[in-house]
Amino acid sequence: MNYHAAQDRYASMTYRRAGHSGVQLPVVSLGLWHNFGDAQPLEAQRAVLRRAFDRGVTHFDLANNYGPPYGRAERNFGRLFAQDFRPYRDELFIASKAGYDMWPGPYGDGGGRKYLLASLDQSLRRMGLEYVDVFYSHRYDPETPLEETMGALNTAVRSGRALYAGISNYPPEQHRGAVAILRELGTPVLLNQARYSILDRTPEDGLLDAVGDTRTGLIAYSPLAQGLLTSRYLAGEVPAGSRMSVGHFLKEEALTGTKLERLRTLGKLAERRGQSLAQLAISWVLRDPRVVSVIIGASGVDQLDQNLDALRGGSLSEEDLAEIDALSR
């Protein structure tokens, strides 16, 4: 069946400007990290992408090694893009990244020029795109000169394979250095993508200040702490099929008794606000205007809708914020 996007797709989504730029992103973006590989039926992936765009989610976040297996999320997205989204290409903001292990040998990992540009070319082929809207260095690589890594991002933009440069998982000092190099080269740099949630407040230790000082933006991934900040684990059990049951990125030992009590208290706070725990967690990350967007994953349309409905919850009160602080620090 031919896809026709909802005519009211921009009616309810909120957009924030990415630093000092002309780019505005939806405050909730869709990440294709976990649910767009071989483990998920293609039709389920199609339903999530269609629903996301119908609700104003214009930003789809990918990377070379998303799957599983590596590369499969980009390949699957490319198939669905060709079938459903090509007429809407100019309304979409598509990201890819390189920096972690992708292929064997010395040129398939890190921040080197050869790896980053080769990976970008492969990503474009998998997705069937002429360019991505932003291309990230996925991690700071202390073994590679920062000038080389940023020079590769500059080439990606200058060659037309990307419109903007981004960095991900860069600490505050390296964030400042990377932005300075790119701006000296005349390359537009938008974002630092970092893990940020009620349970992981690391960006508050200098990164948010670096983002503000350099007039860039933070885009937060794992705002639900790999699913801990949802109702799935409040019973103290590990549901079948959950990320914790797989045990790759979220281990069962993370669900300690103390943490479980904190999660249950947060759940009660969310209930008083008329929200789910996941919706509260998303609202909390978005409380800071330096956060341009949060990246959520979704295995189905119902889960996607629930997370997007966090935008209807209203601002957190000073009392709410104080209670969350007491539970998260």
Task: Give mean pLDDT, residues 150-173.
Answer: 98
Pairing of strands 93-98, 15-17: unpaired
With cut-offs at 50, 70 and 90, classify the pLDDT of residue 257.
confident
What's the length of the chain? 329
Task: Return the pLDDT at 237.
Answer: 62
Does residue 205 fall inside a structural domain? yes
Q: E strands along the chain, which residues?
A: 15-17, 24-26, 28-31, 59-61, 93-98, 132-137, 162-168, 189-195, 217-221, 291-296
Does residue 139 fall inside a structural domain? yes
Question: Within a 10 A sphere around the Cβ of 309, how many other Cβ atoms?
Answer: 17
pLDDT beyond 70 at 84: yes
Token pair listed for 211 = 């983002």
In this structure, what CATH number is given to the domain that contains residue 52?
3.20.20.100
pLDDT beyond 90 at 256: no
Task: Give mean pLDDT, residues 211-221.
Answer: 98
Number of domains in the chain: 1
What percent of the chain has a predicted confidence (pLDDT) above 90? 90
Task: Return the pLDDT at 24.
Answer: 98
Pairing of strands 24-26, 15-17: antiparallel
Task: Please state, in angstroms and rounded to a whole number, the distance separating the CA atoms of residues 280 and 165.
Answer: 31
pLDDT beyond 70 at 244: no
With cut-offs at 50, 70 and 90, classify the pLDDT of residue 253.
low
Burial of 303 (0-12, 13-18, 19+ CB in 10 A): middle
Do 84 and 95 meet the contact criterion of CB atoms below 8 Å apart? no
Run of H or E including 181 = helix 172-185
Place of tokens 């767009």: 36
Q: What is the mean pLDDT of the chain?
A: 94
Task: Return the pLDDT at 236.
Answer: 62
Does residue 149 fall inside a structural domain? yes
Nearest alpha carbon to residue 163 among 85, 106, 96: 96
What percent of the chain has a predicted confidence (pLDDT) above 70? 94
Does residue 220 fall inside a structural domain? yes
Task: Give mean pLDDT, residues 279-285.
Answer: 98
Give tens-digit pLDDT for 8-61: 999 999 999 999 999 999 999 999 999 999 999 999 999 999 999 999 999 999
Does residue 132 fall inside a structural domain? yes
| The overall pTM is greater than 0.85 | yes
Task: Give mean pLDDT, residues 158-170.
Answer: 98
With cut-offs at 50, 70 and 90, classify the pLDDT of residue 232.
confident
Does residue 321 fall inside a structural domain? no
The residue range of the domain holding 77 is 15-228+289-316
User: Of 175-184, 188-197, 223-232, 249-258, where does mean pLDDT reach its minimum?
Assistant: 249-258
Task: Return the pLDDT at 246.
Answer: 53
Does residue 138 fall inside a structural domain? yes
Task: Please state, in angstroms and rounded to a whole number, the distance separating the CA atoms of residues 226 and 60.
Answer: 18
With cut-offs at 50, 70 and 90, classify the pLDDT of residue 245.
very low
User: Of 73-82, 107-116, 163-172, 223-232, where does mean pLDDT reach its minimum?
Assistant: 223-232
Does residue 196 fall inside a structural domain? yes
